[in-house]
Amino acid sequence: MFRFISRALAFWRRRDSSEGQRAQYLRLLEGDTRLETVQGVVTKFCSDYGLIDELIYFSSDVVTGNVLLKVGQKVTAVVEEDKTSHGLKAIKVDAFHDHCRGDGLSDSYSRVSFGCITSPVEGANYIDHTSYFSLDVVCKDFEPYQGDRVEVEFSIQPDTQSRKAVSVKPLRHKHVHEVCITSLHGRNGVIDESIFFTLDSLKLPDGYVPRIADVVNAVAVESIQSCYIWRAISMTLVKRW
């Protein structure tokens, strides 16, 4: 029951990122399901214990196959909440094997961060505080816009700790069907009184111009837009009154 909800407002602030990841992992354990499987990266490992993504504790006796893990290694873990510390602990850890390389390790390792797009850089990039990414790593059919909450995977070089974004996608998205356009103000508008849209970043069928009361289908992403938390990225007309 993955719900990618982050409290972070910046990509690369370590504290904010850790808080966001903790919130995400805790939400995995909501409801009736008490165990969840997650993928992460070993960020600390001593002789008999370690941490995954700096948040999930594991002991060496839960690592399968007697594998000696290393910092930077990708793993899959079965996670539960520790009733005593209220933290997260893994009861099973499997090394993630890269069949192309065969050893589960690479010259670099990946890390996922969550954040909010703060401003576009003219030309090809979008920037969040002091970090930026190229638009060529953005997932298909998603054009980042100021305020969008995103999930970014980037590659880290262990020797220099330099990082490069390799994938950018919306934190959450949803499809809505047969809802009405409830307001229009210049190039901006609102669907169903809850989903913001702007004609500056909205995919429309050729020739279609949105009007109030149009019944539409839309795809929306989580985004901070004034009093709204969703932004439509595409819209198609279903019925016009």
Separation CA 74–CA 207 (nearest Å): 48
| CA–CA gap between residue 208 and residue 217 (Å, rounded) | 13
Reading the chain (241 residues) residue by residue, the pLDDT tens digits are: 323 223 332 333 344 445 555 555 555 555 444 567 788 888 888 878 888 888 889 998 899 877 778 887 888 888 888 777 778 889 999 887 544 344 444 455 666 677 788 776 554 445 555 567 777 888 888 988 989 988 887 777 666 666 777 888 898 899 999 999 999 999 999 999 999 999 999 999 999 999 999 999 999 999 999 899 999 999 999 999 8
Q: What is the pLDDT of residue 40?
A: 83
The pLDDT score that the predictor gives to residue 42 is 85
Helices (H), the chain: 14-28
User: What's the pLDDT score for residue 153?
Assistant: 79
Q: In whole angstroms, give the CA distance from residue 200 to residue 63.
A: 50
Sheet containing strand 119-121, edge to edge, reads 119-121, 125-128, 131-134
